[in-house]
Structure 1
Amino acid sequence: MTHYKGGSLKRDMVQVSSCQNGNYSLVKFNDMFSYTETVEGLMHEHMQTVLFFYKQKVLSPSCLASGVLLAHETIDQVKDSRRVWLYIAGQRRVRRAPQVVYDGPGQAADGQRLADNLDLYNGSSDRYDWKLVGKKEVYIPYSSYKLASPELEYSDIFKVGHIDQDLTRYELHRVWEVVATLKPGQWHVYRERRFYVDEDTWQIAAQDMFDSRGNLWRVGHIMRFYDKQVPLYADETLYNLKNRRYLAVGFSNKEAHGPIFGENTSVNDYSPGSLRLEGVR
């Protein structure tokens, strides 16, 4: 959860929800992410309790545009839970959003992504028992510069049932296999999750997710590219093997503002009071 991400990140990107017949819908976002050392004007409380700040604004389609999500990701989420606010353009108000955790719905994801699926895993780890299985060699998505090429149209990438595999690239890498098993008395739609963590970057390279009956349900895998020596997901793809759909998030191929790393931001950029200004259509 603390692997290097370039200090801060700004980007425009798209999230794609695919149907069984190959049709898909695009949702465009503006993302901002900052570790505390890149945020100016923080109070001592923030420096002691917050790991990073995250803000996501919906740019299109028009029915969702100007919705904004703000998260203060805390270091110890059992002691001090994640603080999340939402600005809903239709209501023109900011409200706390305690459901943006665990298996709560992902923003504008058509039910195909959970809150803790973003970045392949995020948030509190307290609902699972964790086991380090050990190290193994696995073919994982890696160095997929072709998939992130600005020369590609989105229609070139998104095909029936999966993204175009001719654009992907895999390498044999050493990964750490970690198994998360749901604790007795706890609830989550994923009873078991298997993570394959890249030894070189400490990013989750792939994840298998099993439902309450033990059936493989959603299979997540990522593509990555490197810019300014920062490992970053070029794409996170979740395949739902039950409804034969998939969701892909993180593409910036045709967006005006791709990833920008290392810029300083202000505490005002991540204040709940700023969301109304962000949400003006």
Structure 2
Amino acid sequence: MTFTTLPASAGIGLRLPHVREIIDTRPAIGWFEVHAENFFGGGANLAALMRVRADYPISLHGVGLGLGSSGPLDERHLAAWQALIERIEPAAVSEHLCWNRWQGEYFNDLLPLPYTEAALSRMVERVSQWQERIGRPVLIENLSSYVAFPEDVISEAEFLVELARRSGCGLLLDVNNLYVNERNLGRDARAALDVIPPALVAEIHVAGFELRDDGLLIDSHGAPVCDAVWDLLDAACTRFGRVPTLLERDTHLPPLAELLAEAGEIERRLAAHRPSPHSAAVKELTP
């Protein structure tokens, strides 16, 4: 199955301070990702995104659907997603392995799930519902976590693989999140890579983190990628092949030239690896 038509190259997040420069200069970058909810209201932001979309593939990345929440999915949110997908015709659609609602209350965060059969069944149901609504497979991203649940019965990687098997979704593998969880919770990041079949991974994220005085790593997306995460990206590409890889930066945003230079490091590392099974399927679809 082809989960995305993104090129197997580096992308960066499209952020408002850089939009005018990107439209004017058309930098040499393979694709852009945006947070979908920022464009649900239409207006000038959506108009600017449409101008960028004319020159680059776009990945729509969600942060608010809360697929693992116990209540039903928000109908207005689903409708907004569907309308944006029809307008943008994105190369990829993705969300997180998380929950964000409880008894009518909404939490503006990506909250971790226990890795139990009940949580897995709920995720399968919600992901399947979303895919049926928009008429295409989606990618689900692993989360950075700061707590582990005593109820866990399988690993995060096993949970993701079973979710993909039952729902037909693909996986967006965030290697920075794997590293953060290894440092914070003692989860073996490289062992997680070995659990996931290469054909399921259709996109990778890398990012920087904040190191607190107490040693906790915070997934802030506010710093350059560290050497350990670069090494983990190499390990991921050795296993999964060359796949679309995003440089995430949401805080302490540097000039566009700095982001493009860091994305160039992604390109250098991707070039050292074979194409992934997924990217080979995408190539077959390309005229």
Larger % of strand: which? 1
TM-score by length of 1: 0.27
Larger % of helix: which? 2
TM-score by length of 2: 0.27
Q: Which has the higher contact order (CA 8 A, sep 6+)?
A: 1
